[in-house]
């Protein structure tokens, strides 16, 4: 388990610690007591500021700073740059990002552990600050939009033009009953349009439901030192994810361990050849790819698609 202090400790536990420390130090000399009280006041002020700001702090800085660091090791199509930033101990070119300090530094930054994973008590805060591993699909078209789209068909347009011509000629030749043929054609066109729109609407609804079910699969993660199956949508930054041959990569991450891992990245790069991963030359895994061989564990550094 992690021995360091987690940046995701609750205000209740922090608040309980300060009075205890103050009471203990109060038994010592006056100057020490004053120093303790000053420290306690500073800690209380810091907690109040954090509560007012609405954002917690992770080891290494604010959520904004952490995002910048994670982005510096997750740039698209930039393996050499990402690897250099991961192993660097100082920000590249004086920038805000980078300076991770290797796998050890990354785990410390995310307050996680290679064997024990994150603490379950921090999941909600991580999700609130860094987002969920889910991107809503584009809203489907309304029934009215589908109804209007049916009139883009050339056959329907020809029938409507014929109905208008028939209606005009019929009324001109026989004002009493000449409109019947044109109205009949228009009625048939509208019936066809309505039926087509209904069918298309039902198809889109069923397809959306099927896509939701296909995307909502389970993944194996480690939390509190215990392996558990959770929905890929519940994965958060810092989670230790376990994958093996045949699994789809649920989110971007950096390898912690691997055993002959090969990744099919054709969905992103178009290359049909599987990419061999290791901890030194290429420890990065990308969401949407598939593990074609081997097994590995990795820490999640980006969620959502």
In the prediction, which pLDDT does 303 show?
92
Summarize the confidence of residues 151-175 as an average pLDDT.
89
**Higher pLDDT among residues 26 and 104, named by residue:** 104
Instruction: Kindly state the percentage of the chain with pLDDT values over 70.
Output: 76
Q: Does 135 score more than 70 pLDDT?
A: yes
Could you tell me which residue, 298 or 18, shows the higher pLDDT?
A: 298
The pLDDT tens digits for 228-283 are 999 999 999 999 999 999 999 999 999 999 999 999 999 888 888 899 999 999 99
Task: Provide the whole-model pTM.
Answer: 0.64
| DSSP three-state, residue 27 | coil
**Distance of alpha carbon 44 from alpha carbon 70, whole angstroms:** 30
Report the pLDDT value the prediction gives residue 101, as an integer from 0 to 100: 87
User: How many whole angstroms separate alpha carbon 290 and alpha carbon 249?
Assistant: 6
Q: How confident is the model at residue 99 (pLDDT cuts 50, 70, 90)?
A: low
Of the chain, the percentage scoring pLDDT greater than 90 comes to 50
- Rounded CA gap, 293 and 65, in Å? 35
Whether 156 shows a pLDDT value over 60: the answer reads yes
Which of the four pLDDT bands, split at 50, 70 and 90, describes residue 161? Answer: very high
Q: What sign does the CA torsion over 108, 113, 118, 122 have?
A: negative
DSSP states along 191-250? HHHHHHHHHHHHHHHHHHHHHHHHH--EEEEEETTEEEEEEGGG--TT-EEEEETTPBP-
């Amino acid at each position: 388990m992690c021995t360091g202090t987690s940046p995701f400790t609750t205000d209740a536990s922090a608040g309980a610690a300060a009075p205890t420390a103050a009471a203990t130090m109060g038994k010592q000399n006056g100057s020490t007591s004053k120093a303790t009280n000053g420290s306690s006041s500073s800690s209380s002020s810091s907690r109040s500021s954090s509560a007012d700001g609405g954002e917690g702090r992770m080891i290494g800085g604010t959520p904004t700073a952490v995002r910048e660091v994670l982005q510096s090791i997750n740039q698209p199509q930039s393996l050499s740059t990402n690897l250099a930033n991961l192993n660097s101990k100082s920000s590249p070119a004086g920038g805000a990002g980078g300076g991770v300090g290797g796998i050890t530094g990354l785990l410390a930054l995310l307050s996680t552990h290679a064997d024990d994973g994150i603490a379950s008590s921090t999941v909600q805060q991580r999700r609130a600050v860094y987002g969920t591993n889910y991107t809503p699909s584009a809203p489907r078209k309304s029934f009215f939009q589908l109804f209007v789209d049916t009139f883009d068909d050339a056959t329907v347009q020809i029938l409507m033009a014929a109905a208008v011509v028939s209606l005009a000629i019929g009324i001109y030749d026989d004002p009493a009953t000449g409109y019947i043929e044109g109205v009949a054609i228009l009625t048939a066109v509208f019936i066809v349009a309505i039926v087509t729109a209904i069918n298309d609407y039902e198809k889109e609804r069923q397809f959306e439901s099927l896509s939701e079910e296909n995307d909502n699969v389970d993944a194996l993660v480690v939390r509190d030192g215990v392996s558990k199956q959770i929905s890929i949508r519940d994965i958060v930054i810092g989670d230790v994810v376990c994958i093996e041959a045949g699994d789809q990569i649920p989110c971007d991450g950096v390898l912690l361990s691997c055993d002959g891992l090969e990744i099919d990245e054709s969905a992103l790069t178009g290359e049909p050849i599987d990419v061999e991963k290791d901890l030194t030359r290429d420890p990065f895994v990308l969401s949407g790819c598939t593990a074609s061989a081997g097994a590995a564990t990795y820490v999640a550094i980006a969620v959502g698609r």
